[in-house]
Every structure is written in structure tokens, then in C-alpha cells.
A and B are shown apart, each in its own frame.
Chain A
Amino acid sequence: MLSRTSTKCARAVHPPWRRLLATETVTQTPSTAPTPPPRSKKSLRPHISTAIILNRSPIITRTPTLFEQAYYAYQARLRRALHNPFPYDFYFKQGTLLETRFNIEERKRERLAFGPGFLEKEDVSEEKRAADIAAVEQLALQEGEGEELMPRTRPENIEGDVKSLDRRGKRNLYLLLHASDDGKDIWRFPQGDVEKGQFLHQAAQKDLYAECGDLMDTWIVGKAPVGVYKPPQPIGASQETAERVVFFFKGHIMAGQVKPESGNIKDFAWLTKEEIETRLEGNYWDAVKDILSDY
């Protein structure tokens, strides 16, 4: 079956990596490279910090929408109608219990797909059929089937508990901290300053541990930041104050839980994108909203 994601990339007529043939002529293109803006004579070194967008990936598949359910049911029915004949002799020995079970289940699936009138009536006596069904049930008991699956939603006290990593299993969750910085109570991602001579991605890992404790297994994705945020200068600040720059890194949590270490962290929460929007300030939200997943 062909993938819905496979797309054909349009090839450029002259790929840039190809060297020309000896007889080809080069068409001169005027260079349109923009000249860099003139730098101010004396600019202060900006104050750099890193923030980590710590993600808990979905732990269960999402529920298909009604349209998707209808689509899948229709396609499954088409497949069933068009499939090649199943080689019974190859997979089952004649007259075994496993074959009987497969036949009973297959008839059930056919009836579900094509309706009760589709199949011919089985050519077996009532007693034989009842005995078959009893034997198959016995087999299922022996094999320990019929265990109940875990529910796809947790009870309300877990779903609503923002500190639990088990809530909202179908969604991506992100860690948000409730911190008091400079006397202001705000929600923000884990954050810390970069020391001199430190790489950004190393600083990100260190800052995460410094604020959230080392009781969790985390992995910082890549060495390059995934986003940047420049907080607005506070009103009344002079021109000489250094610009603040926050680089965002993406991280994954594999195991463990947050245990706030530093005193200025009051609380933490694992939140979906919509829940994060209600807690962040406007500028900050605009900087991170495209990094967060809608699923």
C-alpha cells in the first residue's frame, strides 16, 4: 500500500551541486545578497539564558474522529471484499480446535462487515455447533484470554491532576514552572543562565537539573536551539542595559518526576498546549506557541 506521506519532490533543473560540462555557458546572475545592516558602535554583550521545553510524548494513540472511523470501516470492508483467498490448509491442520476457532471468528467478522444475509448457513448440526463454541470458550479460558484492557481515560482525579505524568495520555504534555522572578509570580519554562565558556545545549541540561532536580531521565534534542525569545525591556530602563535573550531547547522526559530544587520555584505543572496558553504572558506565548504540538 502506498503511503499518504510520500510526496515527490520537484527536482531543480540545474542542481546546485552539479559541476557544469565543459561546453556549458554560465548565465551570470546579478548578486542580490543584502548588505548587513551597520552595527552600532558600542553594543553591550547580551544576557543569554536557556530554557527547556520538556515534553512528555503521547502514551496512547489518539481516538479517531467519526469521519476517520467511517473511512477506516469502509476501507476495511473493501479490503475484506477484495482479499486473496486465505490458505486454510497451510495454516491449520484439518479438524483441529484452532481451525474451528478461526472459522467461528471469521464468520463473525464477515457478518459484521457484510451483514447477516451475506454468509450461507453452516452445514453442521445444532449440537455440533454448540459443542464447537463450548470447546473454543474452554480454549480461551485456558489461554487466559478475556482479560480486560486498561481504560483509555484515567479517573477524573488523575486527568485533572496537573502534576501527574499519567494525565491526558493522547496529548503532548509540557512542563511549566510557577516561579517568582524579581518579585513577580509568573508561569514559565525551566530556565537558567549560560556561564562563560559553556555550550548552550550543556547549559540547558544543567539548568534543567538545577531547577527541577535530578530525579528524572531526560534527553535534550539536538545541540541547536529550537526557538528564541527576547523579553521586552522594562519601562524606564536606560539604553545601556544589556539585552536579554532566551534560547529554547526541546527535551523529552523518559522516566521520573520533577522535584523543584531552588527556592523560587513554587509549583510545577504538566500541561497541554491549550492549558499553557491560559497561563503564559502574551509575548512569551507568541514566542513558544509554534514550538508546541497541537496533538
Chain B
Amino acid sequence: MASQGASTAVRHSVTRFQRPPRITRRLRRNPKTGLPQPHVKITTREFAPCRLEDHSQTTLKDDLMYMTYKHEVGERPPPRQIRLRFDPNDPYTKFRHNPPVGGPQLGTRPAPPCTPENVVRLERIQLHTMVKESIANKSHLLGAMMQMRALTGETFQGGGHHAVEGIQITRGKKSVGGWLRPGVPVGVKVDLRGQSMYDFLGTLVEFVLPRLRDFSGIVLPPQSSSIKTPASVAGVVSFGLPANALVFFPQIEVNVDAYPKLYGMHIHFVTNATGVGAQDRARALVSGFQVPFIRR
């Protein structure tokens, strides 16, 4: 009993804090907000143990390494050089346009050698919504932004991380026949990394996907489809959720009446897999988090 009391005392001493030190130096004020600024840059990191990250580290990583390992002996042979190489000092060839020999190599790029460092892992999840009405009236983006905000809780440079961009507005890139112009806001997107990524994935897999009636899995392309397309060597798994699936997210379910309209979204699981067969390795990883796949 005494030891139990001692252990709780120790736990309290590490999770509770004493009174903060008295502020002796005047804090600078932010000219924009008028709020006091600390003297040091404050960043926050993980604030709770993350179940899915533990799962991916202890179970998935091993299994994926065993499943995707390709044995190679020695160094890889250099690619076949199929055209005469010219002397770089020759003034004729020196400043000429000099494309890589053999056309685009994107779809044929082999995967990097298997090492413990490049076992396939989830880098980020990107959520993306296009709001067509916003081309005519920008204020239609507000609903989609609020929805993303409720789903992810991401803010611009949230937690003091300069690389966290929060909810971003996507803009038109090119002119489409009297409908879209470059620079016009057309949607919102958000990148999730680390803890918030795993939180979102857990919510999706445990609350949303099981409650979707007509969703039996992410549809795989037919077996006859080409494996040398740019998409299949990119290592990204994508699928979409319709607007009526969004009510199953608990963050939105609590006050679904507050949203004038819900917007469907694309979900991209971005992994570190590259080269031939990258999408298959990415699918193996994502299915390890219990996201189902089917083949029609």
C-alpha cells in the first residue's frame, strides 16, 4: 500500500507543475494582436501517446518490410546507354538542347533498394474539397473551411511549427472556357502530419467507414491496367467521401445543424514509396490501418 502511495506521488509530481516563475523582464507585445510574446520560440510536440503510430512502428513496419523486401545481390547495373555520347568540350554540342536519352523515364523508374530506412510509411494525409459555387462567390468557401477546421483542428503554424500551413485555399491554375480563371479560389485543402494524421485516420476507420452503407472498400483498378502510369509509381492512395458521409465524423455529428451545407472531399494517403510498384506498397500500408480495398 505504501509503495502504491509512493508511486502515485511520483506520478503526480511529474504531471503537475508548480507555480510559474515570476516574470521579471517586460514581455514584448505583438504589434498586430497586442498580445505578450515570450522571449523564446515555443513549439509543441506530441501531447499524448498515439495508438496508431505505435501500431505502425511495432507491427506494420516489420510486416511491410517482410512483404515488400526484394533481394538484390551486389550493385545495380547502370542503365544501358543507347546513343553515342558527345564530347562536352566540342563547341558543336556544348550549348545544344540536350534531353535525357530514351524519352521520359518516369513510369519505368525502379524502386530504391530495400533498406530498413525506406520501409514504406505514411508521410501525410491530404484532404481536399472543391467548392464550385466559390468561383462565383468567394464566401461559399467559408462552410468548407469551417468543416475542415472541425475535422482536423489544424491552424496556420499551429503549435509553433512554421511548416504547418493549416487550412489552405486552392486556386485555379489555368483558364477554362469562360468558367475558371487563374488565381480564382476554387476550394480548400489541408495537410495532416504526425499525431493529427493518425487521429484523423483512426476516426475515419473506426467511426466513418463502418457506418457507410454503400462503401465496401476503395476500388482497385482492373488487373489489366498499366503499372507504368505516373500514378502507379507515385505511392499515393486516393479516394473520395461524398457529402452525406461527412455526418458520420463525430466532430461534425455533434452540431451538424450548424453547417448550412456539407461538402464531400478527396482523401490522399501520401507515403514515401517511389518507383515501380509504389502504389501497391502504399496500398499494403494503408490496408494495414484497416482501410478496406475491393476489386470489381
Contacts and interface: CB of A to CB of B under 8 A. Distances in A.
A24 B100 CA distance: 10
A26 B81 contact: yes
A221 B63 contact: yes
Q: Is the interface of A mostly helix, strand, loop or mixed?
A: loop
Which of B15, B42, B58, B71 is the most central at the interface, judged by chain A CB atoms within 10 Å of its CB? Answer: B15
A58 B51 CA distance: 11
B44 interface: yes
A80 B55 CA distance: 27
Interface stretch (B83-91, B170-178, B205-213, B240-248): B83-91
Interface stretch (A60-68, A147-155, A205-213, A236-244): A60-68
A78 B42 contact: yes
A200 to B, nearest CB: 13
Q: How large is the interface on A (under 10, 10 to 19, 20 to 34, 35 or more residues)?
A: 35 or more
Interface residues of B, number: 70
Given A1-B164, A18-B105, A293-B62, A26 B14 contact: no
B193 A20 contact: no
B258 interface: yes
Interface stretch (B21-29, B154-162, B219-227): B154-162
A72 B44 contact: no
Contact of B117 (A9, A84, A293): A9
A295 B55 CA distance: 11
A91 B66 contact: no
Given A1-B196, A17-B105, A7 B117 contact: yes
A4 B43 CA distance: 13
Interface of A: 1-7, 9, 16-26, 33, 57-58, 61-62, 64, 66-79, 82, 84, 90-92, 115, 172, 221-222, 224, 226, 250, 252, 293, 295
9 closest Cβ pairs, A-B complex: A70-B14, A3-B194, A73-B15, A75-B47, A76-B47, A222-B67, A23-B88, A222-B66, A1-B194
